[in-house]
Amino acid sequence: MFLRHVICVVALLCAAIAYADRPNVILIMVDDLGVEGLSCYGSLDYQTPELDRMAAEGIQFTSAYSQPLCTPTRVQLMTGKYNFRNYIDFGYLDPDEYTFGDMFHDAGYRTGIFGKWQLSGQLPGKSKNKNAKPKAEYYKELKRHTDPDDWGFDDFCLWQLNHRGGFGDKGSRYWDPLIEQNGKDLTANKNDFGPDLYTKYLLKFVEENREQPFFAYYPMALTHDPFVHTPDSSDPKVRKQAALKDMVSYVDKLVGQIADRVRELGLAEKTLILFTCDNGTHPSIHTNTKGGNVQGGKGNTTAEGMLVPLIAYWPGTISPGQVDNRLIDFTDVLPTLAAVTKTTPRSGEIIDGTAFLNANGTLPEKQRDHIYCWYRPRPVQNPNKGAIFAQDHRYKLYKGGSMFDLTKGEGANQKLNANELSPEAEKAKHKLQRVIDGYASQGGVLKK
């Protein structure tokens, strides 16, 4: 009996030591918000005090690049691979792909995803309307309907998991939302605000798993259009840019609620919170910043479409007050999560990214000297649209030869003359061309 008691105590101590060495991770990604949407990045139109505080107490990265559009970013973020390797079409993630959900699940973490899904290929759903008529020509490229457990997620509370009424019928993500939690429809009404429900179940997940390592991924529905009022809006009829201001404030409030709850549970020093966004702001939005007026660039391969906030917050581990301008793209997220949690991706997986944070919260000495982009947003519906480029801090080179000095702009009339390049620009061109050619040899081409 005594020996059994000793064994139990030792087992508990070992579990406690293992947990102390394996931090929790909460990854939050806002929908459609460029760097100009946060006051800590210079916005004059939006106030984000909670995020500003987290940036001031952690690391604020200033050169983080997503893909220009939703699904390309999500696929790249979750798999650590450039899109030419595994991107099939908009709204779909290949069920055979290995993701950070799989990585954490295999490592013994409890895993959860909350918010926006949009990765099942706009299929009607396995158990929904049997009379829905999908568009056969669209589905020929897709393997099957997918669910979060295909990629290692134990728990979920999601909008747009299924298209209940057939092709294109997503239901509301905001008021009176259409949400599924762990295989069951949530009962919601016109007074329920979707982002409150996603956050509620994320916090429930955190509380229920506070005694073991967990990974919570929160791809927010906010701030994607339609631009609507929030529960905190003074005018329920507010729309467009005025509504977006309220939506950004609500994002900040929800992120603050998450950070506060983690702190209340005594998990702050055990939990890395990463905050970012999936692409630039909607093109209809103009934002005043300390650097001038910025038009949203969602869908474009310019900085306005791809330069996004990235904040790392981990009290007691990350030294506060850091601002870092290293180049980061979204293939870097998975290897960073692996490095921070001392978790190893599955053997044989190609991971294109490089970690931007060490397990002890310091910044790696090794930095990228470029980022790469293969972008083909809707290969099935629009196979001829796409772009390939590589860039460093100053220069951007497209596969077709167009080159820009990013300190001067990316407008059509700002292309550099190939016959009048400075020695510095010429050197950068050769470097970036080698990057493009290197990935082309691995399949990084746009097939017409």
C-alpha span between 297 and 287 (Å, rounded): 11
Tell whether 279 and 142 lie within a shared domain. Answer: yes
Contact 235, 219 (CB under 8 A): no
Per-residue pLDDT of the chain (448 residues; tens, 9 = 90+): 444 444 444 443 444 445 568 999 999 999 999 999 999 999 999 999 999 999 999 999 999 999 999 999 999 999 999 999 999 989 989 989 999 999 999 999 999 999 999 898 754 444 333 443 344 444 555 656 678 988 999 999 999 886 554 455 678 999 999 999 998 888 888 899 999 999 999 999 999 999 999 999 999 999 999 999 999 999 999 989 999 999 999 999 999 999 999 999 999 999 999 999 999 999 999 999 999 999 999 999 999 999 999 999 999 999 999 999 999 999 999 999 999 999 999 999 999 999 999 999 999 999 999 999 999 999 877 888 899 999 999 999 999 999 999 999 999 899 999 999 999 999 999 999 999 999 999 999 986 5
**3-state SS assignment for residue 157:** strand
Cis peptide before 226 (omega within 30 of 0): yes
C-alpha span between 47 and 45 (Å, rounded): 7
Give a yes or no: residue 380 inside a domain.
no
Tell whether 166 and 94 lie within a shared domain. Answer: yes
Contact 104, 343 (CB under 8 A): yes
Tell whether 335 and 398 lie within a shared domain. Answer: no
Tell whether 408 and 334 lie within a shared domain. Answer: no
How many helices (H) and strands (E) in the chain? 11, 17
The CATH number of residue 97's host domain is 3.40.720.10
Tell whether 348 and 391 lie within a shared domain. Answer: no
Tell whether 315 and 393 lie within a shared domain. Answer: no
Tell whether 256 and 315 lie within a shared domain. Answer: yes
CA angle 153, 226, 68 (to 5 degrees): 60
Say what angle helices 240-264 and 194-208 make with each other, to 10 degrees.
10
Tell whether 153 and 292 lie within a shared domain. Answer: yes
Give a yes or no: residue 203 inside a domain.
yes
- Cβ neighbours for 378, distance < 8 A, ≥ 6 positions apart: 89, 90, 385
- Enter the tokens of residue 230: 């929030």
Tell whether 290 and 424 lie within a shared domain. Answer: no
Tell whether 55 and 114 lie within a shared domain. Answer: yes
Give a yes or no: residue 117 inside a domain.
yes
C-alpha span between 443 and 331 (Å, rounded): 17
Give a yes or no: residue 11 inside a domain.
no
User: Residue 415: which domain range?
Assistant: 387-441
Tell whether 341 and 395 lie within a shared domain. Answer: no
Give a yes or no: residue 198 inside a domain.
yes
Element (H, E) at 305: helix 303-306
Beta bridge partners of 415: 404
Give a yes or no: residue 1 inside a domain.
no
- Number of structural domains, the chain? 2
222-251: buried (b, 16+ CB within 10 Å) or exposed (e) per residue? bbbbebbbbeebeeeebeeeebbbbbbbbb
Tell whether 140 and 209 lie within a shared domain. Answer: yes
CA-closest candidate to residue 163, choices 182, 135, 197, 205? 135
